[in-house]
Amino acid sequence: MTSVYDFSADSLSGQNVDLKQYQGKVLLIVNTASKCGFTPQYQGLEELHKQFAGQPFEVLGFPCNQFGQQEPGNAEEIGAFCEKNYGVTFPVFAKIDVNGDNAHPLYQHLKKNAPGILGTEGIKWNFTKFLVRKDGSIHDRYAPTTKPAELADEIRKLIAQ
């Protein structure tokens, strides 16, 4: 069975990152953007990252420019924005597509295995969240309106399993 650990993605610095390195951790995978109404969620994501530091948990951010062109920056600009404005220390990857013919294979997998409302697979907007179990299977999908802090109890449960 395919899991999220079977994929890789480029870091902001252009290094290929094998997601196997996160095996055994609960993951919160989020498509992000710097110029979106939900952009302040970077702060909540960083708070979760710090709250669960030292535990088998990781936030993974995937910038995407497919929604209202709200992530126009290059890798250096994205990294600087995240660090300067939100003190982001969790891994942020290179900009990807989450929908369409060029959707990143990880996001093809996430959407297929955790469809949205009424079974739709497409990502509707920035800051859609996928919570992944330690075995790499997808636990659930959350709307952009779901604040990161609202996921803390569910993360705690998955870490304990």
pLDDT at position 1 over 80: no
Please provide residue 123's backbone torsions phi and psi, each rounded to the nearest 5 degrees: -80, 130
Over 90: is that where the pLDDT of 19 sits? yes
Q: Give me the amino acid identity at 50.
A: K
Read off the pLDDT of residues 112-129 as tens digits, 9 standing for 90 and up: 988 887 777 889 999 999
Q: Pseudo-torsion of CA 31, 33, 38, 42, nearest 10°?
A: 80
* CATH number of the CATH domain containing 45: 3.40.30.10
Of 119, 143, 121, 120, give the one whose Cα is nearest residue 130: 143
Phi, psi of 145 (to 5 degrees): -75, -15
Structure tokens at 104: 């990143």
Q: Is residue 20 predicted with pLDDT exceeding 80?
A: yes
Active site residues: 36
What's this model's pTM, rounded to 2 decimal places? 0.95
Number of domains in the chain: 1
> 134: domain range?
4-160
